[in-house]
Amino acid sequence: MTGTVWGICSAGSISNDFCLALVNNGSNVAAVAASDSGRAKQFATDFGLPRSYGSYEELANDGEVTVVYVGSVHTKHMQDALLFLQAGKHVLVEKPMGVNEGQVQQLVAAAKEKGVFLMEGFWTRCFPVVRRVQDLLDGGSLGRALHVCSDFGFKAPRADLTHRLWSKDLAGGGLLDIGCYVLQWASLALGRDALPEFRAVAAVGETGVDHHASIILQYPAGGTAMCSYSFDCAFHDRTVIKCERGIIWVDEMAHAPTKIRIMTVAADGTTATEDVEVALPRHTRDCGGRTVNFGNSEGFQYEVQEVERCLAEGLKESPQFTLSESALQVRLMDAVRKEIGVAYPADVA
Amino acid sequence: MTGTVWGICSAGSISNDFCLALVNNGSNVAAVAASDSGRAKQFATDFGLPRSYGSYEELANDGEVTVVYVGSVHTKHMQDALLFLQAGKHVLVEKPMGVNEGQVQQLVAAAKEKGVFLMEGFWTRCFPVVRRVQDLLDGGSLGRALHVCSDFGFKAPRADLTHRLWSKDLAGGGLLDIGCYVLQWASLALGRDALPEFRAVAAVGETGVDHHASIILQYPAGGTAMCSYSFDCAFHDRTVIKCERGIIWVDEMAHAPTKIRIMTVAADGTTATEDVEVALPRHTRDCGGRTVNFGNSEGFQYEVQEVERCLAEGLKESPQFTLSESALQVRLMDAVRKEIGVAYPADVA
């Protein structure tokens, strides 16, 4: 066994952030592929990678690469990930794994057939303070989780309506980009293997995609959640999990968090509060002067470590965000899109 | 003109808190009435009131009293308030003004017929920091309000299921008791004269009333809100109002708040944050050693001052919470109760 060797599919802004985390984690990265070979070459030079390719097929044929990170646009995730799975590579696909459940199920089936690892890049779940939240919820000291309130938004510039965020053809809109984060909080606390009932209200803009929405959810076990996301308001990103015997606050930036506050209520009604903070890993290696494009991207290291741990242990999926949770979440998002009237070209394919 | 002279209807725990505010405000309180004359007498003695009555009719006939505070149980608000309105008194009714829209409309009609002042006791709206929120929203410096997230709850003891909070016969359940607070935040920011569309999920308990619910709302002007309340979780009471160019956070206890944080986003994307805090008035007068029963009840003084201002100016309703807003809110609550399956005996009367 030679250990995990990474390949990078697509040299865009999210791949930049992911590769910075890989390099700073000391991981072994062998190659990058982009449809623009010049861009791939520059990426390889900056990051000090041995090889670059002008096509994804060449990366799929790279015999040294054991796992590929897919960082292409939403609408290409399925076909790109499929290429690597079919070549027998393990795959980490940036979220959303597919733009609808059909796409996700195809990937899950391909991974199973090839016996390789597959994970949707829900990096939130790999952050240390989120693992602490999970432990608290599973451990029972706060009692059952009863209600989740999660809210994430920012003001996305409207100058260019052909930008992927506003583009129906590129599976734009808030739900797949940021709505998925608020939904995974509900799922984490109230039922990781359950499909909730829901109601949604939303604003769908001139390009046919959702700018903002509010969704209320009711899980089979009885918990409820209210989740909202927005491309229209100033930055906000907080989550609260209310339990029978306490409350967990996940502070900004809750989708990639470093701070939580835990309030525990004792039997006599007195409360105790604990603040937990785990600072982000720091990036110290120079990669051609590159910096992160997205907030808290240094936290990609936690996801890298989780994938490498799973591969070292021979797991085919990560317990932090299982394939069944990926499938449930996209099924829910499909239903939400149906309710709010957002359909992508890929839905009818 | 002799100024405002208060009478108190019912000597229960909320009347206690309200009367402490009246006395500490230096207001003129002439009398209290309770069905138990001994209890009324003790109340009058403690608060130093000239007269006490063992029936509400006697208070209605008290020629000196100009305005009556109705602090009886929910299900008696309408008949009690009606008694005083018909006697030509101005009336402040503790929320909810009525348990359904029919009751509220009866009171509104009676006040109009008699040409007297009527207000539902939405004291939240009278707090200085809430007036500041209102000014900010009306002034436009933050742009339009787009989204409200409001959440209020506490763990109500379940030992006694005949308690009014759990009793269907006493119009119990979370909606009328605390849900009204989260809804008025949505209304304040997104449309004080508009009925929103909504969806709700809730948990209805063994006594037929709602323990907790989440409601999403969409206002005609386009804003959305998500509101939830709960009798099942540890104390929480926060509201966030997201606007085109900023965010207002209303900190605990948002239903009777002393602190807000305002973030304003400038055209170049930079943000400025202002904290506003207005401490509660302090109660310094001894009233038989009585203390407040509910959190921040000292803030009732703001409501007292608002009522006295309205009466001095000859207003028939308060612009802080108009009768039309009361009617819209109870119409919404009636519709929510229908959706979540909570009906009171008074609904079919």
Which of A227, A233, A243 has the CB atom closest to B146's CB atom? A233
A residues 197-256 lying closer than 8 A (beta carbon) to B:
197, 199-203, 212-218, 222, 224-228, 230, 232-234, 236, 240, 242-247
Chain B residues closer than 8 Å to A224 by CB: 201-203, 212-214, 228
In a domain, A178, yes or no: yes
User: pLDDT value at position B269?
Assistant: 85
In a domain, A112, yes or no: yes
In a domain, B219, yes or no: yes
Residue A349 pLDDT > 70: no
B23 shares its domain with B68: yes
In a domain, A288, yes or no: no
Domain C-terminal end among B122, B139, B167 = B122
> What is the average per-residue pLDDT within A100-114?
98
List, for residues B270-298, the tens digit of each pLDDT value.
999 999 999 999 999 999 999 999 999 99
User: pLDDT value at position A83?
Assistant: 98
**Could B146 and A230 be called an inter-chain contact, meaning their C-beta atoms sit closer than 8 Å?**
yes
Residue B1 pLDDT > 60: no
Which one has a higher pLDDT value, A262 or A162? A262
**Looking at residue A139, which CATH number applies to its domain?**
3.30.360.10
B-interface mutation test, from A142, A210, A242, most B Cβ less than 10 A away: A242
Domain C-terminal end among B72, B87, B122 = B122
List, for residues A11-58, the tens digit of each pLDDT value.
999 999 999 999 999 999 999 999 999 999 999 999 999 999 999 999
Range of the domain at B180: 128-277+321-347
CA nearest A211 in B: which residue? Answer: B146
User: pLDDT value at position B295?
Assistant: 95
Chain A residues closer than 8 Å to B159 by CB: none
Q: How many CB atoms sit inside 10 A of residue A250's CB?
A: 25
Residue A240 pLDDT > 50: yes
B57 shares its domain with B183: no
B202 shares its domain with B341: yes
| Structure tokens given for A52 | 């670059």
In a domain, A296, yes or no: no
Domain C-terminal end among A105, A123, A141 = A123
- The pairs formed by A51-57 with CB atoms below 8 angstroms and a separation of 24 or more are A56/A9, A56/A80, A56/A83, A56/A84, A57/A83
CA nearest B271 in A: which residue? Answer: A234
Residue A341 pLDDT > 90: yes
B160 shares its domain with B229: yes
Residue A219 pLDDT > 80: yes
User: pLDDT value at position A1?
Assistant: 42
In a domain, A294, yes or no: no
Helices (H), chain B: 13-24, 37-47, 56-60, 77-86, 101-114, 128-139, 174, 180-190, 300-312, 323-340
Measure CA A109 to chain center: 20
Instruction: State the Cα angle at A106 between A102 and A109, rounded to 5°.
Output: 135
Domain count, chain A: 2
* Dist. CA B30–CA B87, nearest whole Å: 16
B182 shares its domain with B326: yes
| Structure tokens given for B300 | 């009732």
User: pLDDT value at position A2?
Assistant: 57
Chain B residues closer than 8 Å to A201 by CB: 197-199, 216-218, 224
User: pLDDT value at position B138?
Assistant: 93
**Could B234 and A224 be called an inter-chain contact, meaning their C-beta atoms sit closer than 8 Å?**
no
B44 shares its domain with B193: no
User: pLDDT value at position A33?
Assistant: 98
CB pairs under 8 A between A and B: 125
Order across the sheet with A28-33: list the strands.
A51-53, A28-33, A5-9, A67-70, A90-93, A118-120
A251 shares its domain with A136: yes
Residue A281 pLDDT > 60: yes
At A77, the amino acid letter reads H
A204 shares its domain with A92: no
In a domain, A333, yes or no: yes
Mean pLDDT rounded to a whole number for chain B = 96
A180 shares its domain with A261: yes
List, for residues B163-184, the tens digit of each pLDDT value.
999 999 999 999 999 999 999 9
Chain A residues closer than 8 Å to B265 by CB: 155, 234
> What is the average per-residue pLDDT within A68-91?
97
* Dist. CA A229–CA A231, nearest whole Å: 7
What percent of chain B is modeled with pLDDT above 70?
99
Minimal C-alpha gap between B89 and chain A (Å) = 43
Dihedral, CA of residue A228, residue A233, residue A237 and residue A242, to nearest 10: -40
In a domain, B235, yes or no: yes
At residue A23, φ and ψ (nearest 5 deg) are: -65, -45
Q: Per-residue b/e over A120-133, b at no fewer than 16 CB within 10 Å?
A: bbbbbbbbbbbeeb
B189 shares its domain with B97: no
Helices (H) and strands (E) in chain A, counts: 10, 14
User: pLDDT value at position B2?
Assistant: 57
| Structure tokens given for A323 | 């394939």
Instruction: Count Cβ atoms within 10 A of the Cβ of residue A238 and give its class: 0-12 exposed, 13-18 middle, 19 or more buried.
Output: buried
At residue B202, φ and ψ (nearest 5 deg) are: -155, 165
**Could A149 and B224 be called an inter-chain contact, meaning their C-beta atoms sit closer than 8 Å?**
no
B158 shares its domain with B23: no
**Looking at residue B14, which CATH number applies to its domain?**
3.40.50.720
CA nearest A247 in B: which residue? Answer: B234
Q: B349: pLDDT confidence band, cut at 50, 70 and 90? A: low
A220 shares its domain with A335: yes
